Structure 1
Amino acid sequence: MRLVQYGIMLWMWVCISSCGGGGGGGGTVATTGSIRVVLTGLPDGALADVSLTAPGGATQPVQTTQTISNLSPGNYALAANAMMVANIQYLPQPTSQTISVVAGGHIEAVVRFQAANSLTLSLRKAMEGLDRPVYLTAPAGDSRLFIVEQGGLIRIIKNGVLLGVPFLDIQASVTSGGERGLLSMAFDPDFANTGQFYVYFTDLQGDIAIERYQVARDNADLAEIGSALRILSIKRDPAFTNHNGGLVLFGADGMLYVGTGDGGGAGDPAGHGQKLDTLLGKLLRIDVRNATVAEPYAIPPDNPFTLQAGKSPEIWAYGLRNPWRFAIDTADQLIFIADVGQHEREEVNVVTEGAAGLNYGWNITEGTRCYPNGDSCNTADQTLPVLEYDHGQGCSITGGLVYRGSKIPALQGHYFYSDFCRGWLKSFAYRDGVVEQITWPVENVGNIVSFGQDGQQELYVLSSKGGAIYQIVAN
């Protein structure tokens, strides 16, 4: 649907630009006009977040001062949003204006950006002393924090206090250590009514397992251990224990997305990343809304490989090495996939949530570089990362989340991420490309294992140092 809409919008702009003729010369009467959009006040090289919307609804980004010509007569809406450069927010004036284009007219519209106060962040400790915390989440609007511990427990922090009785204890079902263990959880989008949630772990055979559980009827701080329903099992080669992926997450479409690793071994020796008959090295998408023992999940009919012989219908995207953490920003319907690299490159891929069947390249490419030796390779059918960095800046990307909280409004829509080895904190915004990149000078709190989001959409980082959790806050 988004591709169809884009095609319609593109046609509208082509028509706006050409259908009415250009005028000029030989006594021809001009039938179109133009708008010169002037952007002032931003540092050199900064790309603005401004858009021009035509009378028919088609929208065009305007990132620098430019003239937009061959516009059909009518009222055009120019909208400007605040943006970050380094750690300084720039506020536009005006934020919106209507521009009337007449045949033969040439209008100038000015947007002036003014620097506001600089923004600094810090990491405020919320809890310490946890046992290998690897994930944090909460149902929407809930004040509790649910902490996933790698060994097989889910703990609750309630009113700032760690409850003594775990929310869920599946230690007896989990193989833990290294990259294995209880790795994440996801609450049903209708959790308030269903009381259901899903967990991702490596089972006693070392295979990947997704299970559904139910909250106890008489205690909202306790799950019913006997309610377990196995949703999905993925066999792995027992010779390898790494590259298990590790995240389950619901999209805006209500489907459950699952990020799996390539099954381990340097360089993906079995070639799982590019094979479409295996669930390893993939982003999966399944429908669990009516899960039963007999049919634990259904295949969404719009999955790209549904009913294709020899291809696993659960696959939504492929060519991934170890997508330990990905994020779905339901506000902008974007998927951010941070894929851990092999020897040289760490990467972030950003696509629309509806983009199906994409190939992210592994093990043909590592980032944008051909693997293994940088030699030439065919990348024609690949979706290349929007951001990458080499191992001079880190060793293993820790994918994060898009900020949608209310306490730091200047960072709305910014994606945060880190590196396990270096522990730095970085962010960027995505507008048809990576913009507003910022490295935040925060205290190094050790190896950042994961990010988390509470019920109010504020962000946290989880550190392996002292089993600590920190909230990202503005100073």
Structure 2
Amino acid sequence: MDRQQIKISGIVFVGQMVLMILAILSAYYYTRSHDLIPKSILKVPSVHVSRDDLWHIAKIFAGCYFIQISLSLLHLRSHAFASTARFATEYIYYLWAYTTASLYIFIATTINYDAQLVAAIGLFSTILYALSLLSWQIIWLQQPFFKTLTQAIISLFKRFATLSGILALAYFITPLLLGKAFTSDRDVANKITQWRIWFNPVDSTPWGFKNVVPQFKFHQPVIAKPANPFNNTLYVLERFGGVYKVAIEHTKQPEKILDISSLLGEVEIENGAVGLAFNPLDVTSDNQPTRAYLYYTDTRSANTQFNRLSVFDLTLSTQDERLASEKIILQLERVNDGFHNGGSVEFGPDGYLYLGLGEGVHPKKILSLADTLRSGVIRIDVNQQSSNIELATEQPNHIIAQHYRIPVDNPFIGNSKVRDEYWAVGLRNPFRFSFDSTTSQLWLGDVGSTVWEEINRIEKGMHYQFPHVEGLPHADSERNNLGLVEQKPFYTYQHTAYDRAVIGGVIYRGQQLKTLVGQYIFADNYSAKMFSLDPNNQQSEVRFIARANQYAQRGISSVTQLNNGEILITTLGAASEPSGQVLQLVPIEQANVIEDTPDDTPPAGYDEKIVASLFAVNCARCHGVKGDGDGPDAKALGVPLPDFTSPLYHFKTSAEDIELIINKGGPAVGKSPLMPPWGGFLKPHEVEYLAIYIQSLPSKHHHH
């Protein structure tokens, strides 16, 4: 090619890349509101593709196109629109690039594969290519329109009739065949899943975990913390009500010092014992705690559930005496669905007790912050200093409030719309929070619904925007009309199939993990991943640290600190047997916890009570406690949920179908990807038993 031809070819090259980017963007925005492929022709699920995913997809396609256009230009030594015959060859090359990009996204990434989007990219780019060819031939080369169009069609037919054209078409339909096999053949689906895992391993990092109580397995530990900075003793709270005293770096068995299991009723959904704190003023002469503050749920009544904050006397001789010493501080009636209790109980640097309350902590229809305690962080004086405000003797019927005073500097005193106890409001489910030991700043993880998780830096008197904002504004939610100053989240992240429940963490002030000093360390319950972010820079990137050895319903339940500032986590383990652990984040050379590879041999038989608990923990948020599709997150999903209590559902759906959906997720059967794949997270027998349990639901709940 001469210099002029090289210049023209360069211009066309740039033009082709611009066309591809335009095609990708147009396809994305079109398929957000329209189906390119009618559901009657090809049943493919609606897929959420985030903006980040879009740019990842665009880079993959653009990279493949760049290589394809460069190679064809070097090989054929003329640009794509030089003639209709040259365009036909270019289009064959284009099909190879398009199919390669599609396969790469399908097999080698964690992006939800949106068949509508990929098909639209192919169609829109083809249309733009064809229009560009016609424009070039007619405007630049002065060729007649119909002659150019006819020659282009003939050239394409001739080119597809060659061996290379046939191979290109065969390659082009490969993603379609794999997609079909993925949804219908378990072996193929397993193999593709293995490929995806192989292409997307968890990054290796300089950190891992050490089991600090290797001689003992806890029954769903929800938090582990030292009582005070003057001894080397750890206290572990189990969800089922046990409180254990552990001598760190000793091999003797933990000592159970309190058992409140008889106060809990049935431990299911998100219920049970969830929070534990010790008053730094209540210690013996040898620095042992004299009282324990516990936050728990009471489901013993068939009609009414309660959230309760109580204090227990640990100086008494026996467990029975300690249990009988319960002094109720707060008893809050709640809706009977078992969700969104909140959970953190912490004494702040100011000596006051702070408690996180979820938005589910209220009787039906009583939502006003003037009438109940919910959806926020409260601050109370359990030491009852005389300078603080005494409680009113009259309380609403659904609240018991006693044995504390209101700090005089609480932010909502005198506000008739908000109870005096509140420190901050507008939170959905503040399950875990902590105070920075250096700055006293309160950091909180707010568990979200179906799309967003939040990290909040809690300030006095602020409204954190729930329910009208959760990560991003909800289009169908009304604003709280409280006239309060609103505060946006410090950091948010979107759900994936596994990152879906934030566990608020701590500012690291230890010595072992040098590069993490001053960083905020938090976790995700389901994926069991830990992350760090810069608490001084909202724009900083979040860094993956490590992943614990148990995930999903067995995942991380707390992130706390030892007295020396080092980080502890608790992993729940199974609900059916003690298998939870207390782990310390350590440099990788000190780690002794490896990826969990439990025995997949099923137990002796199907235990409906255990499987019902499994369903409640993993499925009820969306599908409802009864399985009728009326869970607390159902409306936010935006897709209809099946009614497992209906005989009609089971007439159309076999046990094998149910197992496939649980294992592979919604896309495996042409349904929404909001139903994530649980294969690999649940044991094979758990999936089988869940299918049996779901099939039994019509007989348990008579459907009319």
TM-score interval for Structure 1 and Structure 2 normalised by the shorter chain? 0.5 to 0.7
User: How far apart in 2 are the matches of 1:261 and 1:120?
Assistant: 36
Instruction: Show the counterpart of 2:220.
Output: 132
Instruction: Report the secondary structure of 2:351's partner residue.
Output: coil
Could you tell me which residue of structure 1 aligns to residue 623 of structure 2?
A: none
Instruction: Give a deviation string over 1:251-304, Cα, whole Å, max 9, x none.
Output: 111110000000179xx99584x7443211110000011399995000011112
1:148 counterpart = 2:237:
yes
Alignment partner, residue 387 of structure 1: 491
Q: Is the 8 A contact 1:400 1:415 kept in 2?
A: yes
Aligned with residue 561 of structure 2, among 453, 456, 459: 453
Q: Which amino acid aligns with 1:208?
A: N
Aligned equivalent of 1:169 = 259
- Of the three residues 564, 567, 572, the one matched with 1:464 is 572
The range that moved more, 333-342 or 225-234, is 225-234
- 1:406 is matched with 511
SS in structure 1 of the partner of residue 322 of structure 2: strand
Q: Is 1:214 the counterpart of 2:308 in the alignment?
A: no
Preserved CA contact (<8 Å) 1:167 1:222: no
Alignment CA distance shift 1:294-1:377 (3 Å): closer
Say which structure, 1 or 2, has more relative contact order (CA 8 Å, 6+ apart): 1
Correspondence list, 1:230-249, <5 A = 230-238=328-336, 240-249=337-346
Indicate which of 520, 531, 535 corresponds to 1:415: 520
Count matched residues.
349
- Summarize the alignment of residues 307-346 of structure 1 with structure 2, pairs less than 5 Å apart: 307-346=414-453
Q: 1:382 to 1:129 in 2, by over 3 A?
A: same
Distance 2:423 2:545 in 1: 34
Distance 1:428 1:148, change over 3 A: same
Task: Check the 8 A contact 1:141/1:456 in 2, yes or no.
Answer: no
CA deviation after TM superposition for structure 1 residue 445, in Å: 3.5
Partner residue in 1 for 2:294 = 199
- In 2, Cα distance between equivalents of 1:310 and 1:376: 14
Q: How does 1:86-125 map to 2 (within 5 A)?
A: 120-125=206-211
Instruction: Tell which deviates more after alignment, 149-158 or 304-313.
Output: 304-313
**1:422–1:294 distance in 2 versus 1, CA, 3 Å:** closer
- The answer (yes or no) to whether the contact 1:428–1:434 under 8 Å persists in 2 is no
Other structure's SS at 1:321 match:
coil
Distance, in Å, in 2 between the alignment partners of 1:250 and 1:340 is: 21
Matches within 5 A, 1:254-403: 254-263=351-360, 272=367, 275-290=369-384, 295-351=402-458, 355-367=459-471, 369-372=472-475, 381-392=485-496, 394-403=499-508
Q: 2:468, 2:477 within 8 Å by CA — same for their partners in 1?
A: no
Task: Provide the aligned C-alpha RMSD in A.
Answer: 3.2
- Length-normalised TM-score, structure 1: 0.66
1:374 deviates by 9.1
Q: Is residue 2:295 matched to residue 1:228?
A: no
- 1:189 corresponds to 2:286: no
Question: Which structure is larger by alpha-carbon Rg, 1 or 2?
Answer: 2
1-side partners of 2:490 and 2:257: how far apart? 38
Q: CA deviation at 1:197?
A: 2.4
**Distance in 1 separating the partners of 2:344 and 2:404:** 17
- Matched ranges for 1:434-449 at <5 A: 435=540, 437-442=542-547, 444-446=549-551, 447-449=555-557
Q: State the 1:384 CA deviation.
A: 0.6
Q: Which moved more, 1:357-366 or 1:196-205?
A: 196-205
SS in 1 for 2:262: helix
Unmatched tracts of structure 2, length 5 or more: 1-203, 391-399, 574-578, 589-704
Aligned-residue sequence identity (percent) comes to 27
Task: Answer yes or no: is the 8 Å Cα contact 2:410–2:423 preserved in 1.
Answer: yes
Separation (CA, whole Å) in 2 of partners of 1:259 and 1:298: 18
Label 1:279 to 1:228 Cα distance change in 2 as closer, same or farther (>3 A). Answer: same
Q: Which runs of 5+ in 1 are unaligned?
A: 1-117
Which sits farther off after the overlay, 140-149 or 358-367? Answer: 140-149
Task: State the Cα distance separating 1:453 from its structure 2 match.
Answer: 2.4
Counterpart residue identity of residue 466, structure 2: W
Conservation of the 8 A alpha-carbon contact between 1:121 and 1:442: no
Aligned to 1:35: none
Q: Which amino acid aligns with 1:363?
A: P
Is this contact kept in 2: 1:453–1:460, CA < 8 A? yes
Distance 1:307 1:435, change over 3 A: same
Cα displacement string for residues 196-230 of structure 1 (whole angstroms, at most 9, x for unaligned residues) = 221111124521111112222679x9983333211
Change over 3 Å in CA distance of 1:363–1:215 after alignment to 2: same
Change (3 A) 1:394 1:234: same
Give the AA of the match of 2:509.
R
Q: Distance in 2 between matches of 1:435 and 1:294?
A: 42
Distance in structure 2 (CA, Å) of the matches to 1:235 and 1:372: 30
Instruction: For 1:276 and 1:229, locate their aligned partners in 2 and report how far apart those are by CA, in whole Å.
Output: 25
In structure 1, the residue matched to 2:394 is none
Task: Give the Cα separation in 2 of the matches to 1:242 and 1:322.
Answer: 9
Q: Indicate the larger mover: 300-309 or 314-323.
A: 300-309
Question: Residue in 1 aligned with 2:93?
Answer: none
Alpha-carbon displacement from aligned partner over 1:376-396 (angstroms, at most 9, x marks no partner):
999994211110010126111
Moved more, 146-155 or 186-195: 186-195
Q: Distance in 1 between matches of 2:478 and 2:351?
A: 41
Query: Is the alpha carbon distance of 1:457 and 1:224 closer, same or farther for their aligned partners in structure 2, counting shifts above 3 Å?
Result: farther
Conserved? CA contact 2:330–2:402, under 8 Å: no
CA–CA distance in 2 between the matches of 1:300 and 1:181? 29
Check conservation: 1:136, 1:454, Cα contact below 8 A.
Answer: no
